[in-house]
């Protein structure tokens, strides 16, 4: 997930530089981040590979509740130099699903690959997806995104994976048609989307998710995120997917030519001592039950047979 760094921005504005030099996905890529941003080198970082065979079933997490997501609202999209970010207005909240309280939506943005074989930040049993969208929410009681980025569990981010489909995703047509207007990196260039419900940008009935504690996936990598990664995917055509790769990055090479934004995903980070939970029976949970039942059956059988 991506957040602007108000402190760094303030500092750099003061000394008259652009944030462009700070970090990116090319020359100042993820392997360099920890040199500048200590937190990026800590032990509870995101994204991760979610090894489904090693997740812990927690039925009590239940379903997540989304409130206000169905109301059409005004939205703007911008190129912040690292991704296309949609800023929201209105009141959209998530709650339940194991969250301690209500979290309010601030923005959503995308991570994609240079081709359709990669692009997602999270992996599910080592599978990568062509794109991942992050819906960034902050703890409502803390009042703002800025107040929440340094608090434990201050943010709750929902991650959804994209999968390639034959036909265009009509729900994404308006957003994708606006990408041409934000081709260049310019955070002041806010392009309005047609008023729409946030439901249009997520799978129709997202239910099954993984939960773990992690970080922002971009500097300053704050370890304050309650992650929810859903298994239901969003469909997108190859042509629609390719349009994201036309955006230009804030990062430029030695010849001062800006790069295209592509492969703007951080590689997966070590899980270390963390546990990934699921609110649904994964195949591993099912397999474990089958093993138990098979065990019980053979015990019964052998008991019967021995008599
Ligand atoms: C969660 O949502 C699914 C799908 O809508 C539904 O089948 C299930 O009953 C819900 N579970 C609870 C505990 O509400
Ligand atoms: C779009 O939504 C905003 C509220 O988010 C509202 O003020 C505005 O009137 C709406 N515009 C249209 C054209 O419906
Ligand atoms: C950035 O976008 C704003 C708003 O559209 C525009 O006024 C400004 O000229 C743009 N800046 C550059 C450097 O293109
Ligand atoms: C499985 O999860 C445990 C923590 O719950 C972790 O220590 C272990 O390394 C994980 N194994 C794999 C293969 O991911």
- pLDDT above 80: residue 188: yes
- What CATH number did the domain enclosing 241 receive? 3.10.200.10
SS3 for 275?
coil
Q: Could you identify the residue written with the tokens 């500092």?
A: 11
Tell me, yes or no, whether 104 lies in a domain.
Answer: yes
Tell me, yes or no, whether 151 lies in a domain.
Answer: yes
| E-only strand ranges, the chain | 49-50, 56-57, 64-67, 73-79, 84-88, 93-96, 103-112, 123-124, 131-139, 155-164, 186-196, 209-214, 225-230, 234-236, 248-252, 258-260, 277-278
Residue 143: predicted pLDDT? 96
- Counting ligand 4 atoms within 8 A of each CB, the residue from 55, 270, 271 with the most, and so the one to mutate, is 271
Give the residue numbers marked as catalytic: 82
pLDDT digits (tens, 9 = 90+) for 20-43: 448 999 999 999 999 999 999 999
Instruction: Work out how many domains the chain is built from and give that number.
Output: 1
Q: Which domain holds residue 150?
A: 5-282
Tell me, yes or no, whether 24 lies in a domain.
Answer: yes
* Averaged confidence pLDDT in the chain: 90
Tell me, yes or no, whether 290 lies in a domain.
Answer: no
Give the range among 41-55, 116-130, 169-183, 286-300 with minimum mean pLDDT. Answer: 286-300
Residue 23: predicted pLDDT? 95
pLDDT digits (tens, 9 = 90+) for 3-16: 665 434 434 333 33
Q: Could you identify the residue written with the tokens 């941003």?
A: 37
- pLDDT above 90: residue 286: no
What is Dmax (Cα atoms) for the chain? 87
Tell me, yes or no, whether 304 lies in a domain.
Answer: no
SS3 for 303?
helix
Question: Ligand 2: which residue has its CA nearest to atom 12?
Answer: 195
Tell me, yes or no, whether 51 lies in a domain.
Answer: yes
Contact (Cβ atoms closer than 8 angstroms) between residue 157 and residue 145: no
Tell me, yes or no, whether 89 lies in a domain.
Answer: yes
Tell me, yes or no, whether 202 lies in a domain.
Answer: yes
Query: Quick check: CB of 194 below 6 Å from ligand 2?
Result: no
Residue 298: predicted pLDDT? 53
Contact (Cβ atoms closer than 8 angstroms) between residue 86 and residue 112: no
Q: How confident is the model at residue 290 (pLDDT cuts 50, 70, 90)?
A: very low
Residues touching ligand 3 (Cβ under 6 Å) are: 186, 188-189
Residue 1: predicted pLDDT? 67
pLDDT digits (tens, 9 = 90+) for 93-148: 999 999 999 999 999 999 999 999 999 999 999 999 999 999 999 999 999 999 99
């Amino acid at each position: 997930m991506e957040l602007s760094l108000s402190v760094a921005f303030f500092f750099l504005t003061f000394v008259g530089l652009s944030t462009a030099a700070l970090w990116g996905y090319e020359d100042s890529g993820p392997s360099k981040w920890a040199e500048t941003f200590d937190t990026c080198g800590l032990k509870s970082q995101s994204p991760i590979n979610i090894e489904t065979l090693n997740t812990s079933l927690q039925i009590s997490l239940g379903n997540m509740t989304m409130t206000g997501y169905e109301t059409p609202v005004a939205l703007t999209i911008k190129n912040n130099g690292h991704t296309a970010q949609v800023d929201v207005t209105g009141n959209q909240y998530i709650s339940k699903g194991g969250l301690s309280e209500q979290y309010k939506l601030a923005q959503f943005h995308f991570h994609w690959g240079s081709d359709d074989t990669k692009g997602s930040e999270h992996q599910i049993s080592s599978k990568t997806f062509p794109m991942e969208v992050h819906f960034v929410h902050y703890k409502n009681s803390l009042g703002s995104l800025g107040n929440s980025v340094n608090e434990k569990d201050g943010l709750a981010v929902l991650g959804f994976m994209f999968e390639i489909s034959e036909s265009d995703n009509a729900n994404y047509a308006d957003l994708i048609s606006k990408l041409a207007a934000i081709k260049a990196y310019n955070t002041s260039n806010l392009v309005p989307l047609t008023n729409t419900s946030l439901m249009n940008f997520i799978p129709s009935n997202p239910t099954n998710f993984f939960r773990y504690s992690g970080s922002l996936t971009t500097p300053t990598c704050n370890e304050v995120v309650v992650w929810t990664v859903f298994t239901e995917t969003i469909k997108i055509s190859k042509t629609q997917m390719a349009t994201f790769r036309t955006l230009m990055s804030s990062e430029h090479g030695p010849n001062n030519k800006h790069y295209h934004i592509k492969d703007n995903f951080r590689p997966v980070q070590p899980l270390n001592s963390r546990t990934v939970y699921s609110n649904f029976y994964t195949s591993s949970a099912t397999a474990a039950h089958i093993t138990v039942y098979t065990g019980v059956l053979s015990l019964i059988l052998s008991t019967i047979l021995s008599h």
